[in-house]
Amino acid sequence: MLAAPEIVASPVTRGLRGTASRPGVILAVLVIVVVVGWVLLPQVFAPGDPLRAAPESRLLAPSPDHWFGTDELGRDLYLRVVHGASLSVRSTLLAVMIGLVAGSLIGVIAGYLGGIIDGALMRAVDVVLAIPGLMLSLAVIAALGPGTLQISIAVGVGAIPAFARVVRAETLRVRSSDFIEAAHVVGVRGSRMLVHHVVPNITGHVVVLATATLATAVLAVSALSFLGFGAAPPAPEWGNLISDGRDYLAVAWWLTLLPAAVVVATVSSIMHISRTLETRTGGAR
């Protein structure tokens, strides 16, 4: 009788188990919960119009009335950061999904089929890896033009090689397992083998990589938006907000520092959760 494969437990369940004794993980999760709340329910956390100007309140320092202060047009910066989370985070999630789906497909095909197909796909991945990520993203944007969707595609394309290499390595590991050999003996082939035996056993490591990639994607999306390739002003994208405050650093430090602090806190929290998942699951190989 064919033995049931040993499927890797959910990385989220394993990674966050016992977090009551890990305050750092709890803090990181709370930060992500708040950011997700900003994305889903911005009017609950910051009711109002992030585009409404109030010239009489321009460049006010942070206070109980304006937690993050106001900008050069009198717009509430906290309001803009909260409402801008939707643009930044959704762009990031789309970018990670592009890299995850395309990279995983390439990695599974290369690792499972092997031979000439494996060699050709991996050489193509190596060529892409030879190009610095930011340069590759800028090249894609140059071809597609600026915009939120274009940034997501550009960052997603840059994430494909990492997913492809990790998924290929995990597919090769699973393919050489005893239960795969046993499945071959009893006649399991093709898509059934992939869906029921290979994919469930590589999911844990892919989730770990996706979590880490989410952090780098937040930085990449914000950087490209900072350079002016994201949503057009006055859209309150995080990178735009940081960029807009550069001209006022001497008189209004909060315009750049506080949106940047939100980005840093978000990225640091995601990376902390990713390291926890990696420790619990054995990491992405």
* DSSP string of 108-122, one letter each residue: HHHHHH-HHHHHHHH
Structural domain includes residue 170: yes
CB 118 within 8 A of CB 111: yes
Q: How far lies 166's CA from each of 32, 171, 172, in Å?
A: 26, 9, 10
CA distance 160 to 103: 4
Helix (H, G, I), strand (E, B), or coil: what is residue 36?
helix
Question: What does the pLDDT read at residue 173?
Answer: 82
By CB atoms closer than 10 A (0-12, 13-18, 19+), residue 273 is buried
Structural domain includes residue 5: no
CB 100 within 8 A of CB 161: no
Structural domain includes residue 3: no
Domain hosting residue 258, numbered range: 11-281
CATH code for position 216: 1.10.3720.10
Question: What does the pLDDT read at residue 284?
Answer: 44
Which residues touch 222 (CB under 8 Å, ≥6 apart)? 88, 237, 238, 239, 242, 263
- How many domains, in total, are found in the chain? 1
Structural domain includes residue 92: yes
Residue pLDDT, tens place only, 54-111: 888 899 999 998 899 999 899 999 999 999 999 999 999 999 999 999 999 999 888 8
CB 48 within 8 A of CB 76: yes
Structural domain includes residue 36: yes
By CB atoms closer than 10 A (0-12, 13-18, 19+), residue 95 is buried
Question: What does the pLDDT read at residue 179?
Answer: 57
Structural domain includes residue 229: yes
Both structure tokens of 96: 């990670």
Structural domain includes residue 21: yes
Point out the residues of the chain with pLDDT beneath 70.
1-21, 177-198, 280-285
Structural domain includes residue 94: yes
User: pTM surpassing 0.75?
Assistant: yes
